[in-house]
Amino acid sequence: MWKSKYLYSQHSFDLLLNLLPKRMKLPKINLSLLKRITSLALPYRSIFIWAVCLTIVQSVLAAAQPRFYQHVIDNYIVKMDLHGLGIWSLIILGMLILQSILGFANTYLAEYIGQNVILQMRNYVYKHLVSLRLSFFDKTPVGTAVTRTVSDIETIADLFASGLITIAGDLFQIVVILVLMFVMNWKLTLVSLSVLPLLVWAANRFRKGVRDSFQDVRTEVSKLNAFLQEHITGMQVVQIFNRQKSEEKKFNTINARHRDANIRSIYYYAIFFPVVEFIVAATLAILVWYGTKGMLNHSVKIGELTAFIMFTNLFFRPIRMIADRFNNIQMGMIAAERIFKLIDDDENKEKSGALTEHKIKGKIEFKNVSFRYNENQPVIRNLSFIAEAGQTVAIVGHTGSGKSTLVNLVNRFYEHTSGEIWIDDIKAEDYDLAYLRRQISMVLQDVFLFSGSITDNIRLRDPEITREAIENAAKTIGAYEFIQNLPGKFEFNVMERGMSLSLGQRQLVSFIRALAFNPSVIILDEATSSIDSETEELIQKAISTLMKGRTSLVIAHRLSTIKNADKILVLEKGEIIEEGNHESLMQKNGKYAELYHTQLELAN
């Protein structure tokens, strides 16, 4: 709804763009993208209209000031009319106060729109991110996604606050100034505009250079964020292998490219603004020379010349700033293009069914299922098996045989490329995704805990899971005692990624979490491979309770832990090469027996 209403509207600012002089138009601006960006402000269109109107009124007052000064000089100062001068001084003071008030209101409204657009769009982008398949995150650096959600969206606010709304006022001010100048003295006006073509040419060159440099800046910011996120997260590995200096060199290289991109944009600013100042100074010199001659032959009054000097400064100031305003638009459009590219990525978006009424019992059937991450990387090949409701099915094989991929296909973290997956004799893709995943609890080898309390990490903000259910699950798993010994007990802060807990304690919390959701299917992906023997013994006692009455898919390196499984699948290169229970597979003396004896010898 938000996307269709706010991202695809084709309204706003056609008139504004048409007001630009032909030589000032920006042919490289993507107008459809600009319209799509401006449509973000549609929920605040009344505020937007007020902001534009206030900007226009403020611009008119600013543009009319020289005309009032000319009137005061020629009619009161020259004639020494102190009474009239006092009245007009109060009038001009009132106008300046009004202009200041309008400036405050305009700035506040423009920033208000920008910040609300940020709020809405950032919420939408995050909602979109969490709906993408895991394959998107496999190939997209986390820092890149963070850049899109944070700094790129922040840039769009500047587009509204100091871009479009301000340009509307600047353009209107230019038009008012030109009209007043031609009405007062068309000859002085032509003299004042004599260097305008040179200014337009300089602004156009400046715009092109800065546009390219801003594109480079946004690219380098994304790379910088990606590098920092990855290396801060993996700092332990960096320090373990003493790679601080080498990684510092990589960071210096990326940081230097970011600096160089910013310096290129600064270079264009450093050239453009002095050139503009020179052009304005030259214009004023020509104007004073021509106006003085007019005063000598009585064709120009001193008030007129003073007004035209003020008009010239007022006229060139918005023209000079329009180039900078358009750069704000360019930056906002570059950021928006990246964001819209992410939002429009429907290929990686998860597809959900609608079925939510069927209570899942847990029967899982794979029919000739194949999966590949890309064309040259087949992982699962024509795989078929059945796990009856309540059965425990163990999956074993060498690293890279496809064990984890297989269980990820069950809860549709990845979509199989061919074949069919049935759950309770219903195709998996027919289920509502949220409903399906709520029926499946998964315990991974690498447990991820969010910063916060143990309760928050078990409940995961689900209001249906009560404190009583959490404590009962902890008692069932056998972890209640260790939690009670922590400072704060269930409110103990586990810190980021659960760093204040040991590996075994994190694993216990993940088991409590899996049980608290009361699923129909349990998936254990090497869930006991990273814990000590004492904790493993504790978990093994709880696993039987956890699996009771539930379908269980168990991936384990330690084959001794799956002797009692109803069925064992032996995978090799994505194919089932053996299937049966422990006794039958040992009697076959095949791959499973080989793996079992190898582990037994290593243990001895």
Any idea what the CATH number is for the domain that residue 594 is in? 3.40.50.300
376 lies in the same domain as 285 = no
Write down the pLDDT at residue 374.
76
CA atoms within 13 A on the CB side of 588: 17
Q: Which domain holds residue 308?
A: 2-343
Which of helix, strand or coil describes residue 352? coil
Helix 45-72 × helix 82-129 angle, to 10°: 160
338 lies in the same domain as 372 = no
Q: Is residue 120 domain-resident?
A: yes
Q: Is residue 352 domain-resident?
A: no
- Of 328, 265, 262, the closest CA to residue 37 belongs to 328
Please report, for the domain that includes residue 224, its CATH number.
1.20.1560.10
Q: Report the alpha-carbon distance of residue 302 to residue 57 in Å, rounded.
A: 28
308 lies in the same domain as 375 = no
Write down the pLDDT at residue 542.
66
Write down the pLDDT at residue 291.
83
Segments of the chain with pLDDT less than 70? 1-30, 160-164, 207, 211, 236, 240-241, 320, 322-324, 326-327, 527-539, 542, 601-604
Q: Report the alpha-carbon distance of residue 226 to residue 83 in Å, rounded.
A: 69
Write down the pLDDT at residue 456.
86
Burial class (CB in 10 A: 0-12, 13-18, 19+), 104: exposed
End-of-domain residue from the set 343, 373, 399: 343
Q: Is residue 46 domain-resident?
A: yes
Burial class (CB in 10 A: 0-12, 13-18, 19+), 222: buried
Helix 503-516 × helix 467-477 angle, to 10°: 120
End-of-domain residue from the set 286, 310, 343: 343
Cα–Cα separations (whole angstroms), residue 355 to 109, 282, 359, 426, 434: 46, 75, 10, 10, 10
DSSP bridge pairs for 423: 364, 426
Q: Report the alpha-carbon distance of residue 223 to residue 254 in Å, rounded.
A: 7
CA atoms within 13 A on the CB side of 589: 0
156 lies in the same domain as 62 = yes
Q: Looking at 28-68, which runs of residues are DSSP E strands?
A: none
Write down the pLDDT at residue 3.
43
275 lies in the same domain as 402 = no
471 lies in the same domain as 333 = no
Q: Report the alpha-carbon distance of residue 392 to residue 522 in Å, rounded.
A: 9
Whether the CB-CB separation of 45 and 24 falls below 8 Å is answered with no
Write down the pLDDT at residue 367.
92
Q: Report the alpha-carbon distance of residue 475 to residue 469 in Å, rounded.
A: 10
326 lies in the same domain as 379 = no
374 lies in the same domain as 334 = no
Amino acid symbol at 149: T
Q: Is residue 356 domain-resident?
A: no
End-of-domain residue from the set 343, 375, 400: 343
Whether the CB-CB separation of 506 and 498 falls below 8 Å is answered with yes
Q: Is residue 355 domain-resident?
A: no
Domain tally, the chain: 2
375 lies in the same domain as 468 = yes
Q: Report the alpha-carbon distance of residue 138 to residue 140 in Å, rounded.
A: 6
Q: Looking at 322-377, which runs of residues are DSSP E strands?
A: 364-372
- The one-character DSSP state at 77 is I
Q: Is residue 44 domain-resident?
A: yes
319 lies in the same domain as 381 = no
Q: Is residue 80 domain-resident?
A: yes
Q: Is residue 16 domain-resident?
A: yes
401 lies in the same domain as 268 = no
Per-residue H/E/C for 272-327: HHHHHHHHHHHHHHHHHHHHHHHHHCCCCCHHHHHHHHHHHHHHHHHHHHHHHHHH
Q: How far apart are the first and last CA of the chain?
A: 63
337 lies in the same domain as 370 = no
Specify the pairing of strand 378-387 against strand 521-525.
Answer: unpaired
Amino acid symbol at 445: Q
- Of 350, 379, 360, the closest CA to residue 522 belongs to 360
Write down the pLDDT at residue 6.
37
Whether the CB-CB separation of 416 and 402 falls below 8 Å is answered with no
Write down the pLDDT at residue 323.
62
Which of helix, strand or coil describes residue 362? coil
Write down the pLDDT at residue 13.
36
